[in-house]
Amino acid sequence: MSYDKLVDGDKSLVLTDKTIINIAERVQKKYDIVPLYYNMRKAEPIFITTESIFEGLIAAFTGGNIGIYSNNISKIWNSNTMLHGTNEERQDAINIIKLLCMENNFVIDYAKTLYKPERPKKVHDKICELTNVPLPHFFKYAKDKEDWQVDDKTDSLVNKFDDLFINPRFEFRKLKLEKPDYRYLMSNIGQTCNVSFLPNGKVDKNNTDPMIVKFNELNKKFYFKLNKNMINVYRVMTTKANVRQDVIYRRIVKQVKSELSKFGYSNKEIADILVLYLYKLRDSRHKVLLWVCYGDILYKNLTKYFKQKRKSVQCVDCGNWFYAGIKSTTIKRCEKCAKNIKKSANLHDHTIIQKNKE
């Protein structure tokens, strides 16, 4: 099979990058990678009935978790064995990856075949030996894991991307600034909330305020949709894209506020409780949903402590927004348009003078 035309059944990948093709060929030759072949089982033919469909659904949900095998494969690829092991140890690890790949395919078809191969004890022990480690470091980005859920960063290929791409966030540690006081965001700094954590760091749902539990569920549900659209904030978008994003936000805000209001709190109380939970008790990085839904309240609370020195003004000529002094009442144009007006006025005056001389 040609490397520039790889087909996996779901999508066709046309690749002509010589560097990647050369790497693929080199790795294939190094580890003797060839297409896997094994006999797949087939389920016994049965009549399609309500009972057989139901049994198939149960099988799919109870025995079709392919994530376990995929994660274990990622662990081995990024393990110290693959990075620093001997050639023999690496080849053994590659063979285990091949077995996991086979198991993965059996699990994918499990709902149809109702069959999964049973591991020999020796193979099972070897798999456990190689995979009894935390998830690779890059899972904190790929799967939104916390630091305590992933392994230390190694010099594996995927982990190197962390150093390749510059973090766009600003770094203020060198300025030695004080840690921001979350209380500035609260309407009532005396607000309390009931939150309990399990030993693994997760929220104990049975001993935590149900409103916070519900917020966590909604935050998980809308996380990717919100963060995907947040990227567009920094891009020049068409009017159609702006409208679509606005509709998405409005629907999310409406649903979240509706769900959280059922617990008997006012919007101000909800905002205070979530600030206390996300900024102090959990110190979470995922605060987008809080700001999208209750950002107006948080902003209003901030203004009580900090006097605003500038205001946003829309240019009467180009329509762009710019900042002007808070007390300014005469500035109506941005700096660029103001210069153009002044330049046009000077040209006009110069023309009048020339005509008068003539």
pLDDT in tens, 115-128: 888 899 999 999 99
pLDDT of residue 227: 66
* Residues paired with residue 322 on neighbouring β-strands, in sequence order: 313
Task: 263-269: list long-range contacts, CB under 8 Å, 24+ apart.
Answer: 263/209, 263/210, 263/211, 263/214, 265/211, 267/294, 267/297, 268/187, 268/188, 268/297, 269/188, 269/191
The DSSP element (H or E) to which 310 belongs, if any, is strand 310-314
Model confidence at 165: pLDDT above 60: yes
pLDDT band at 357 (very low <50, low <70, confident <90, very high): low
What does the pLDDT look like over 171-203, one tens digit per residue?
A: 667 777 777 789 999 999 899 999 999 988 889
How many helices and strands (H and E) does the chain possess?
Answer: 14, 4
Mean pLDDT across 313-333: 86
212 vs 207: CA distance, rounded Å: 11
Q: Which uninterrupted H or E stretch holds 7?
A: strand 5-7
Q: 12 has which bridge partners?
A: 7
- pTM, two decimals, is 0.46
Note the pLDDT tens digit of each residue in 126-135: 999 999 989 9
**Can you tell me the distance from the alpha carbon of 64 to that of 110, in angstroms, rounded to the nearest whole number?**
6
- Give phi and psi for 310, each to the nearest 5: -130, 160
d(CA 8, CA 100): 18
Quote the pLDDT of residue 125.
Answer: 92
CA distances 256 to 215, 216, 219, 285, Å, are 8, 11, 9, 19
* Domain boundaries defined on the chain: 5-164, 183-303, 314-357
Residue 353 predicted with pLDDT over 70: no
Query: CB neighbours (10 Å) of residue 303?
Result: 10
**CA 59, CA 113: separation in Å to the nearest integer?**
10
Q: What does the pLDDT read at residue 142? A: 80
